[in-house]
Amino acid sequence: MSTSRDDPMTDTLTLLFAAPPADWAEYEAPLTDAFARAGFAARIVTATDRPETIDYIIYAPSGPVSDFTPFTRTRAVLSLWAGVERIVTNPTLTQPLVRMVDPEGLSQGMAEWVTGHVLRHHLGIDRQILHQDGTWDPVVPKLAPDRAVTVLGLGELGAVAAAALARLGFRVSGWSRHPRDLDGVTCHHGPDGLSRALRGAEIVVLLLPLTPATENLIDAGRLALLARDAVILNPGRGGLIDDHALIAALDAGHLAHATLDVFRTEPLPPEHPFWAHPRITVTPHVAAATRPGSAARRIAETVALAEAGHPLPHLVDRTTGY
């Protein structure tokens, strides 16, 4: 299988947009424009009866492709999502898999969601609004340097979110599988580091990938390490938290609140207890939505690098799952 072309400027690439059909209306113009600006003649199709002609697959879960075996010419599968747990274990996927890393869209969106909800809980905004019943009962919050915030996961999204919180003056700790060094963030790693990062934390932000090693990572024992009246924010993956342990900690008063953007089943079923719990806020998986304009530019840049013979950026490691 060839990995580059002698003259990518003159050859026409064929790409399959293997995402839910409704997404094509948003992506058609940005992708066409991005490839034109990158200098490629690209033919983007939404279906094919000749999979052996496809050079690249632009992929999102719930799209039309689940068997990658016929795509013998395909150089890479380019995910539109940052999370790849729904494809990385597919046994038919032998092509390189590239996850979406988009500082303009995903990273900026995540940083805004995280800082917004951290500030919401830090300032006690919900309490101030809900208590406007005619009584004058001001709530004076701590200042940011006195608030311990922990970010679990210091990859592309977690690092940006932790840095944004540090710039606001919060006392930020972070945890990752491997050692990291971030300005303004006390970084921990490994099993012992996880306990140190959680112990006494008042606000915890979960930005880890979902893997066998991270599923149910936040269980009853780890929730007990947090400061009393701590808050959990989960814009990462629903399976990171033991749902039953979370509800028990909220009911016991050890946790003050949980703001959740991701769930084991999405959309969150109407009968799920999270909806009615007074200490849980549900948001509809919007923390780091893929923006078609910037995502299209990342896709075109990745293809340009591959066609020039350079290594694929943000290549997924199948052994770790991200």
**269 and 298 share one domain:** no
Both 71 and 110 in one domain: the answer is: no
Helix ranges (H only) for the chain are 24-37, 108-122, 125-130, 156-167, 190-198, 220-223, 243-251, 273-276, 292-307
Q: How many whole angstroms separate alpha carbon 189 and alpha carbon 270?
A: 37
Closest CA relative to residue 75, chosen from 47, 44, 53, 91:
53
- Considering the domain architecture, whether residues 224 and 271 belong to the same structural domain is answered as yes
Query: 3-state secondary structure string, 153-194?
Result: CCCHHHHHHHHHHHHCCCEEEEEECCCCCECCEEEEEHHHHH
The verdict on residue 145 lying in a domain is: yes
Give the three-class secondary structure for 252. Answer: coil
The answer to whether the CB of 33 falls within 8 A of the CB of 74 is: no
Q: How many CB atoms lie within 10 A of CB 164?
A: 20
Among 171, 237, 257, 297, the active-site one is: 237
Pick the catalytic residue: 5, 254, 285, 291? 285
Assigned domain for 97 exists? yes
Distance CA 308, CA 123 (A): 50
- Do both 95 and 172 map to the same domain? no
Residue 128 sits in the same domain as residue 211: yes
Residue 155 included in any domain: yes
Q: What is the pLDDT of residue 131?
A: 57
On whether residue 240 sits in a domain, the answer given is: yes
Residue 313 within a domain? no
Q: What is the spatial distance between Cα 54 and Cα 233, in angstroms, rounded to a whole number?
A: 40
- On whether both 112 and 247 belong to a single domain, the answer is yes
Asked if residue 7 is part of any domain, the answer here is no
pTM to 2 decimal places: 0.90
Domain around 166: 103-282
Specify whether 61 is located in the same domain as 168: no
d(CA 209, CA 86): 11
Answer whether 256's CB lies under 8 Å from 227's CB.
Answer: no
189 is catalytic: no
Domain of 153: which CATH number? 3.40.50.720
pLDDT of 2 reads: 37
Tell me, yes or no, whether 229 lies in a domain: yes
Say whether both 139 and 200 belong to one domain: yes
Both 146 and 247 in a single domain?
A: yes
Active site residue 188: no
pLDDT tens for the 322 residues of the chain, in order: 334 444 444 479 999 999 999 999 999 999 999 999 999 889 999 999 999 999 999 999 989 999 999 999 999 999 999 999 999 999 999 999 999 999 999 999 999 999 999 999 999 998 877 655 677 777 789 999 999 999 999 999 999 999 999 999 999 999 999 999 999 999 999 999 999 999 999 999 999 999 999 999 999 999 999 999 999 999 999 999 999 999 999 999 999 999 999 999 999 999 999 999 999 999 999 998 999 999 999 999 999 999 999 999 999 998 888 9
The sheet with strand 203-206 has its strands ordered as 185-189, 171-176, 148-152, 203-206, 230-234, 255-260, 280-282
Our count of domains for the chain comes to 2
Same domain, 122 and 259: yes
319 occurs within a structural domain: no
Instruction: Please give the full DSSP string across 29-81, using - where no structure is assigned.
Output: HHHHHHHHHTT-EEEEES--S-GGG-SEEEE-TTSS----TT-TT--EEEESS
> Are both 93 and 125 inside the same structural domain?
no
Q: Domain check: are 51 and 159 in the same one?
A: no
